[in-house]
């Protein structure tokens, strides 16, 4: 390796920066600085000038969460619309539809070959062949999507209890 004349000053500065004088508990040393480290006190520390918080009894571990209220009764027939939101082919069967026959009984939903269980949050996912319906009940209205694999289409559903 050949050192060029203009590289020597940069090499000397780099060496001087790395070969510095530093302080240790046992005195002044020359050479490269020791590795950088931080030391933190163990446990919580009060902020300077802060007043200590009043002691409050902590709840014991394992305290059960309050019981969820039962899901609203969504039973009934739902009607609404299926509006195309994705249609990759212009001449396909992806068209808007009027929906009826979507039935809910307790926590069970069905629509033609679709069947699904509504979870306590109001969400449901159903499949029939290469088609899926997923969505959520908000009050007595269902907002969701219907997906068909081939020919590919996606519809946005808005169904209300009649």
pLDDT tens series, the chain, 162 aa: 454 455 545 444 444 445 556 566 666 666 655 555 555 566 666 666 666 655 555 555 566 666 555 567 899 999 999 999 998 887 777 899 999 999 999 999 999 999 999 999 999 999 999 999 999 999 999 999 999 988 889 999 999 998
Domains and CATH numbers, the chain: 76-161 (2.40.128.80)
Task: Count the neighbouring beta carbons within 10 Å of the beta carbon of residue 9.
Answer: 9
- CA nearest to 124, candidates 112, 138, 111, 109: 109
pTM for this model (two decimals): 0.56
Phi (first) and psi of residue 15, to 5 degrees? -65, -40
């Amino acid at each position: 390796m050949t050192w060029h004349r203009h590289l020597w000053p940069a090499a000397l500065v780099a060496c001087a920066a790395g070969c510095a004088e530093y302080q240790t508990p046992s005195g002044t040393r020359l050479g490269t600085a020791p590795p950088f480290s931080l030391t933190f006190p163990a446990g919580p520390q009060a902020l300077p000038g802060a007043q200590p918080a009043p002691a409050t009894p902590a709840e014991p571990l394992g305290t059960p969460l309050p019981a969820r209220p039962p899901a609203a009764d969504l039973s009934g027939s739902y009607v609404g619309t299926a509006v195309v939101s994705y249609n990759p082919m212009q001449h396909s069967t992806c068209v808007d539809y009027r929906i009826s026959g979507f039935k809910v009984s307790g926590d069970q939903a069905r629509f033609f070959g679709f069947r699904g269980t509504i979870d306590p949050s109001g969400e449901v996912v159903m499949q029939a062949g290469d088609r899926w319906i997923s969505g959520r009940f908000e009050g007595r209205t269902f907002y969701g999507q219907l997906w068909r694999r081939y020919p590919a289409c996606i519809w946005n559903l808005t169904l209300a209890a009649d």
